[in-house]
């Protein structure tokens, strides 16, 4: 391997042999299977080390920490003071004033009587305040979940059949809560990550359009509307319409509804199915909001813990005449702007709602349909995020397709189809990634020992007689054949070029393995096939910088011995230095 091989880096001589002797590719000590398995399990389900605070603590302290983990209010409540309360009070009153018209409107989207919206802004925020870990989220019914629930429920029971419809709504809410708690406890929260940001943007915009169009009916549908545009005529018309389309709102606090949930019969399964979907969508919104605001204020939000809190709140809600509540984007934004400090603002809102239910609900009798419709319309307009769509278009075209798929699916077909399309395209994107990983030809940046993609760095130059290919993904069964064939295609193209230009024949193929984070049995097979093909063509296969998992498997499978472990180098530069023809840089 050439004792005198040297190279110039930055104009100075570098003695390769020395470095090579010191730095062989690291083969980490063999781990025990059980340890390896535990490590994988940990990274999959417990990467955030939820129990790390419990380590090395006394039993009694662990109990306190456990209670604090379940009820974060026990933790932050100890430092609670008057100045914090003033912020929370103002924020709470502000979101309450927003909540009341929203609740009435959203209940309508879910085909429920208006008081159920108000109920859902009383109990759930109270539960969340004790269990939630976000300091900014404001809880209540939200437009998208209300619409989704309304659509799914009326597919099963006609909303005019009030008693059964409400019972199914509570059943769905119960199972939405159970779904959320289960995901949290089983630490499967990552499943909601499969609803990509792009898909959510499209889905929300589509839902907003659908809701908006539905509301235009109420907004414009006043039968005897004046054609005059002066304010007095319009007001008279509106006031007249009050006695047409007005909802009667029942006075009093949430009645119990645990006995109304279907625990047997055909509706059990239907309620379960609807609940699972609504619960997942509700989680998506709440977790996305929670993460955004946690990043702004720099505190930690435990996704799985949040799910347990949201789930518990919905289970309790389903037993107290509430339907699915979650973190509301509009309320949370207002809450944040109004200067909330802790979840106490939710408690304040909750008490305002209680007073409303006990005392002033009858006043809302005079809220005309048009007013409710305009509240809903103005709320949902905020869901259409044109800027985000433009950004998605700029960043990733496939994301944009997922976004538009979700949007048009919701607008032209149905909420469920929109969701399915979004998830489908997102999955297809993942599959594309694992099936067709990128590969690149590398060249040497002049004056350095750095090798980079020649398409990204046009001044990078190829090394005569050596082809350097980088594979940009783990090599798994889903792409192993493609990777092998793609490398051979690079080689064939290069050989044609070499022949045409009468350059040095390719004698070495260096595969830069840095991005190859893992390899499986199919991948090893493909490497073996690649090696065999190269042998026939009298080309040496050389590997550069295989990672920890890969080097393990190269040895375990005997492949390292097959090609010879002197063919495995720490860096591409080392490999090139060992094999390059002895010429000076131009």
Q: Among residue numbers 259 through 318, which ones bind a second copy (CB under 8 A)?
A: 291-292, 295-296, 298, 303
Q: Of the candidates 33, 232, 256, 386, which one interacts with a second copy according to CB under 8 A?
A: 33
Q: How far is the CB of 333 from a second copy (least distance, A)?
A: 17
Q: Of the candidates 474, 491, 527, 542, which one interacts with a second copy according to CB under 8 A?
A: 474
Nearer to a second copy, 466 or 516 (CB): 516
Q: Of the candidates 2, 23, 86, 497, which one interacts with a second copy according to CB under 8 A?
A: 23
Hey, what are 307's tokens?
């799910």
Residue 44 in the binding site for a second copy (CB under 8 A): yes
Window 406 to 445, contacts with a second copy (CB under 8 A): 426, 429-438, 440, 445
Residue 537 in the binding site for a second copy (CB under 8 A): yes
- Using the contact rule CB under 8 A, the part of the chain among 211-219, 238-246, 265-273, 466-474 near a second copy is 466-474
Angstrom distance (rounded) from CA 363 to CA 377: 22
Angstrom distance (rounded) from CA 178 to CA 580: 64
**Among the listed residues 511, 469, 464, the one whose alpha carbon sits nearest the alpha carbon of residue 490:** 469
Residue 522 in the binding site for a second copy (CB under 8 A): yes
Angstrom distance (rounded) from CA 102 to CA 143: 9
Q: Of the candidates 479, 491, 560, 575, which one interacts with a second copy according to CB under 8 A?
A: 479
CA 560 to chain centre: 39
**Among the listed residues 480, 489, 564, the one whose alpha carbon sits nearest the alpha carbon of residue 526:** 480
- Using the contact rule CB under 8 A, the part of the chain among 47-55, 133-141, 214-222, 322-330 near a second copy is 47-55
* SS3 state at 99: helix
Nearer to a second copy, 192 or 277 (CB): 192
CB 20 within 8 A of CB 544: no
Count of residues that interact with a second copy, criterion CB under 8 A: 104
Residue 485 in the binding site for a second copy (CB under 8 A): yes
CA 413 to chain centre: 24
Angstrom distance (rounded) from CA 127 to CA 317: 9
Q: Of the candidates 339, 457, 494, 540, which one interacts with a second copy according to CB under 8 A?
A: 457
Q: How far is the CB of 472 from a second copy (least distance, A)?
A: 4
Burial bucket for residue 229 (CB in 10 Å: 0-12, 13-18, 19+): exposed
Angstrom distance (rounded) from CA 308 to CA 172: 17
Residue 517 in the binding site for a second copy (CB under 8 A): yes
**Among the listed residues 406, 370, 377, 382, the one whose alpha carbon sits nearest the alpha carbon of residue 213:** 377
Window 122 to 151, contacts with a second copy (CB under 8 A): none
Q: Of the candidates 448, 503, 561, 566, which one interacts with a second copy according to CB under 8 A?
A: 448
Q: How far is the CB of 120 from a second copy (least distance, A)?
A: 28
Q: How far is the CB of 231 from a second copy (least distance, A)?
A: 44
Nearer to a second copy, 335 or 478 (CB): 478
Angstrom distance (rounded) from CA 287 to CA 304: 10
Q: How far is the CB of 148 from a second copy (least distance, A)?
A: 21
Q: How many other C-beta atoms are found inside a 10 Å radius of the C-beta of residue 496?
A: 10
Q: How far is the CB of 305 from a second copy (least distance, A)?
A: 13
Long-range contact list for 80-84, CB < 8 A, 24+ apart?
80/342, 80/344, 84/341, 84/342, 84/344
Hey, what are 81's tokens?
């003071």
Q: How far is the CB of 291 from a second copy (least distance, A)?
A: 7
**Among the listed residues 328, 378, 410, 417, the one whose alpha carbon sits nearest the alpha carbon of residue 216:** 378
Q: How far is the CB of 173 from a second copy (least distance, A)?
A: 27
Angstrom distance (rounded) from CA 225 to CA 80: 53
Q: How far is the CB of 198 from a second copy (least distance, A)?
A: 5
**Among the listed residues 69, 152, 65, the one whose alpha carbon sits nearest the alpha carbon of residue 111:** 152
Nearer to a second copy, 12 or 582 (CB): 12
- Using the contact rule CB under 8 A, the part of the chain among 29-37, 210-218, 338-346, 357-365 near a second copy is 29-37
Nearer to a second copy, 394 or 582 (CB): 394
Window 218 to 257, contacts with a second copy (CB under 8 A): none
Q: Tell me the Ramachandran region of residue 159: left when phi exceeds 0, alpha when psi lies from -120 to 50, beta otherwise.
A: alpha
Residue 549 in the binding site for a second copy (CB under 8 A): yes
Phi, psi of 503 (to 5 degrees): -95, 180
Q: What is the 3-state secondary structure (H, E, C) of 229-260?
A: CCHHHHHHHHHHHHHHHCCCCCCCCCCCCHHH
- Using the contact rule CB under 8 A, the part of the chain among 306-314, 354-362, 405-413, 530-538 near a second copy is 530-538
**Among the listed residues 322, 261, 258, the one whose alpha carbon sits nearest the alpha carbon of residue 118:** 322
Q: How far is the CB of 543 from a second copy (least distance, A)?
A: 15
Q: How far is the CB of 163 from a second copy (least distance, A)?
A: 42
- Using the contact rule CB under 8 A, the part of the chain among 206-214, 271-279, 377-385, 480-488 near a second copy is 480-488
Angstrom distance (rounded) from CA 279 to CA 274: 8
Window 2 to 21, contacts with a second copy (CB under 8 A): 9-10, 12-15, 18-19
Q: How far is the CB of 346 from a second copy (least distance, A)?
A: 24
Angstrom distance (rounded) from CA 359 to CA 194: 44
Hey, what are 80's tokens?
């609670």
Window 558 to 577, contacts with a second copy (CB under 8 A): 570-571
Window 177 to 196, contacts with a second copy (CB under 8 A): 190, 193-196
Q: How far is the CB of 67 from a second copy (least distance, A)?
A: 23
Window 357 to 416, contacts with a second copy (CB under 8 A): 391-392, 394-399
Residue 532 in the binding site for a second copy (CB under 8 A): yes
Count of residues for the chain? 586
Nearer to a second copy, 154 or 433 (CB): 433
């Amino acid at each position: 391997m050439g004792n005198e091989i040297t190279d110039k880096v930055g104009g100075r001589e570098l003695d390769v042999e020395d470095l090579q002797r010191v730095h062989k590719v690291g083969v980490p000590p063999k781990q025990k299977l059980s340890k390896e398995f535990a490590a994988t399990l940990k990274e999959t389900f417990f990467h955030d080390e939820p129990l790390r605070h419990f380590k090395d603590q006394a039993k009694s302290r662990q109990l306190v920490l456990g209670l604090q983990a379940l009820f974060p209010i026990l933790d932050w409540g100890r430092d609670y003071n008057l100045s914090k309360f003033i912020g929370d009070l103002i924020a709470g009153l502000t979101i309450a004033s927003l909540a009341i018209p929203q609740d009435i409107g959203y209940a309508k989207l879910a085909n429920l009587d208006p008081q159920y919206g108000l109920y859902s802004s009383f109990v759930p925020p109270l539960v969340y305040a004790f269990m939630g870990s976000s300091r900014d989220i404001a809880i209540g019914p939200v437009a998208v979940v209300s619409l989704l629930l309304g659509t799914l429920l009326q597919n099963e029971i006609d909303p005019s059949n009030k008693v059964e419809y409400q019972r199914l709504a509570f059943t769905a809410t119960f199972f939405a809560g159970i779904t959320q708690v289960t995901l949290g406890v089983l630490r499967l929260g990552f499943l909601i990550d499969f609803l990509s940001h792009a898909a959510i943007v499209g889905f929300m915009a589509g839902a907003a359009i659908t809701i908006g169009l539905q509301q235009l009916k109420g907004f414009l549908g006043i039968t005897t509307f004046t054609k005059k545009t002066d304010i007095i005529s319009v007001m008279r018309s509106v006031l007249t319409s009050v006695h047409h389309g007005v909802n009667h709102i029942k006075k009093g606090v949430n009645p119990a509804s645990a006995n109304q949930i279907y625990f047997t019969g055909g509706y059990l399964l239907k309620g379960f199915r609807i609940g699972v979907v609504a619960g997942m969508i509700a989680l998506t919104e709440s977790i996305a909001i929670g993460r955004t605001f946690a990043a702004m204020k720099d505190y930690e939000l435990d996704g799985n813990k949040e799910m347990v809190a949201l789930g518990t709140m919905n289970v309790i809600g389903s037993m107290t005449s509430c339907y699915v509540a979650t973190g509301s984007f509009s309320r949370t934004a207002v809450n944040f702007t109004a200067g909330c400090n802790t979840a106490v603002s939710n408690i304040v809102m909750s008490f305002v709602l209680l007073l409303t239910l006990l005392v002033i609900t009858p006043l809302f009798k005079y809220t005309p349909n048009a007013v409710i419709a305009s509240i809903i319309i103005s709320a949902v307009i905020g869901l259409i995020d044109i800027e985000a769509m433009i950004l998605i278009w700029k960043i990733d075209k496939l994301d944009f397709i997922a976004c538009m798929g979700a949007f048009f699916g919701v607008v032209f077909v149905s909420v469920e189809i929109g969701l399915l399309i979004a998830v489908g395209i997102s999955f297809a994107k993942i599959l594309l990634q694992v099936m067709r990983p990128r590969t690149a030809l590398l060249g040497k940046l002049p004056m350095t020992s750095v090798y980079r993609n020649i398409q990204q760095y046009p001044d990078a130059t190829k090394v005569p007689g050596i082809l350097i290919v980088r594979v940009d993904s783990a090599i798994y069964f889903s792409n192993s054949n493609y990777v092998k064939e793609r490398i051979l295609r690079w080689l064939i193209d290069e050989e044609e070029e070499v022949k045409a230009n009468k350059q040095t024949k390719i004698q070495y193929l260096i595969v830069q393995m840095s991005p190859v984070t893992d390899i499986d049995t199919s991948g090893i097979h493909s490497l073996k096939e690649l090696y065999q093909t190269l042998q026939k063509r009298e080309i040496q296969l050389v590997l550069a910088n295989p990672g920890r998992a890969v080097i393990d498997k190269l040895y375990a499978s005997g492949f390292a011995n097959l090609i010879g472990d002197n063919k495995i180098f720490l860096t591409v530069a080392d490999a090139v230095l060992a094999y390059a023809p002895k010429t000076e840089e131009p």
